[in-house]
Amino acid sequence: DMLAPSLTAHADLTRHHIAVAVDGPLGTADHGTALAAACLPLPRTYGLLVNLSGVTTLTQTGLEALRHIADTAVRSGHRVAFVCTDLMLRSELVLADLDTLAPVLPTEDDAMPLVGWAA
C-alpha cells in the first residue's frame, strides 16, 4: 500500500485563493479523495492553486482526481491553476490533458495572477 501524501493547505486572505501543496504519492482513490477534501468546496470568491511539485508518484487514478477537482471548481465559477516545478511531471500532466481544464505552470508566481485577485 502506498504511503499517503502530505497535504498542506493555506488560505491567502489577501489574494483570495486557497493554495494546496501535495508532497508524496498521488496514486490511489483515497489520495484523490483526501486532496479533493482539502481543495473543495472553495469560498465563493476564491481561486485554487494546487502545487504538485512535491508529487513522487502519479497514477492514472491520481490524474483523474486532479481532473475531477479542476472540473468541479471551474464549473462552480472558480479559477484554478496547477503548479509543477518538475519538467517531466509537468509534461506528464499536459500529455494527460490536465491543461485543458486549468493551466499547468512552472512556478507559483506564474499562477498567482490567474487564481487570485491582487489586493
Q: What is the pLDDT of residues 12-70, one digit of tens each?
A: 999 899 999 999 999 999 999 999 999 999 998 999 999 999 999 999 999 999 999 99
pLDDT at 116: 80
Q: Give 91 or 117, the one with higher predicted confidence.
A: 91
Spatial contact of 80 and 73, defined as CB atoms under 8 Å apart: yes
In this prediction, residue 119 has a pLDDT band, given cuts at 50, 70 and 90, of very low
Residues in the chain: 119
Whole-model pTM: value is 0.94
pLDDT at 118: 53
Helices 29-39 and 60-75 sit at what angle, rounded to 10 degrees? 20
Spatial contact of 83 and 111, defined as CB atoms under 8 Å apart: yes
**What whole-number distance in Å separates Cα of residue 58 and Cα of residue 14?**
32
